[in-house]
């Protein structure tokens, strides 16, 4: 059995270049253990991988918490790629997806304030415009705003 720090499976918002702007993790998991931990350790060789709904369904089958399993089953139905982040330890943040996983650990009250290593977080959080449509790349905002007005939104 492998000791793991945290796992998150979520939906990323990307800009036109494919860069991650933010990631929504509906049910992050602290210290996944047992069959789930073994599965994650064997299937996620790097800290972050892009996966499909099939992966989410397999994770859901291994989760013992009913609410977390339901959230992962909902992700399995998502039409598009998902981001899986597996942190083996509480190291400094290496990517935008990792930054959002740690922020979600705090938001879900799975970690207390001032207990996570947030070193490097500001360098990994891109500047975005927050809108009712979600995060938008600053350089793409004007075009998106014109498009929304054209559609009457």
pLDDT digits (tens, 9 = 90+) for 43-65: 998 899 999 999 999 999 999 99
Q: What is the largest CA-CA distance in the chain?
A: 55
pLDDT at 126: 96
10-residue mean pLDDT series, the chain (153 residues): 89 96 97 95 93 96 96 95 96 97 98 96 96 92 91 83
Distance of alpha carbon 63 from alpha carbon 34, whole angstroms: 10
Q: pTM (2 decimals)? A: 0.92
pLDDT at 3: 86
pLDDT of 152: 85
Question: How much is the pLDDT for 1?
Answer: 54
Task: Give the pLDDT of residue 104.
Answer: 98
Nearest to 7 by CA among 74, 55, 66, 77: 55
Closest CA to 110 of 42, 36, 26, 1: 26
How confident is the model at residue 111, as a pLDDT? Answer: 96
In order, the DSSP letters of 85-128 are EEESS-PPP-SHHHHHHHHHHHHTTSS-TT-S--TTHHHHS--E
Specify the pLDDT at position 109: 97
Residues 84 and 100: their CA atoms lie apart, in Å, by 12
Residue 153: what pLDDT? 75
Q: What pLDDT is recorded for position 127? A: 95
């Amino acid at each position: 059995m492998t000791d793991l720090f945290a796992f998150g499976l979520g939906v990323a918002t990307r800009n036109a270049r494919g860069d991650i702007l933010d990631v929504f993790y509906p049910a992050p998991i602290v210290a996944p253990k047992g069959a789930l931990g073994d599965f994650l350790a064997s299937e996620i060789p790097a800290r972050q991988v892009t996966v499909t709904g099939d992966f989410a369904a397999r994770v859901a089958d291994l989760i013992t918490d009913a609410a977390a399993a339901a959230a992962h089953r909902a992700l399995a139905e998502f039409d598009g790629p998902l981001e899986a982040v597996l942190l083996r330890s509480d190291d400094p943040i290496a990517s935008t997806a990792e930054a959002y996983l740690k922020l979600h650990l705090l938001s879900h009250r799975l970690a207390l304030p001032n207990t996570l290593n947030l070193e490097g977080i500001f360098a990994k959080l891109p500047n975005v415009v927050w809108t009712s449509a979600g995060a938008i790349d600053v350089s793409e905002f004007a075009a998106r705003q014109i498009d929304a007005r054209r559609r009457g939104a």
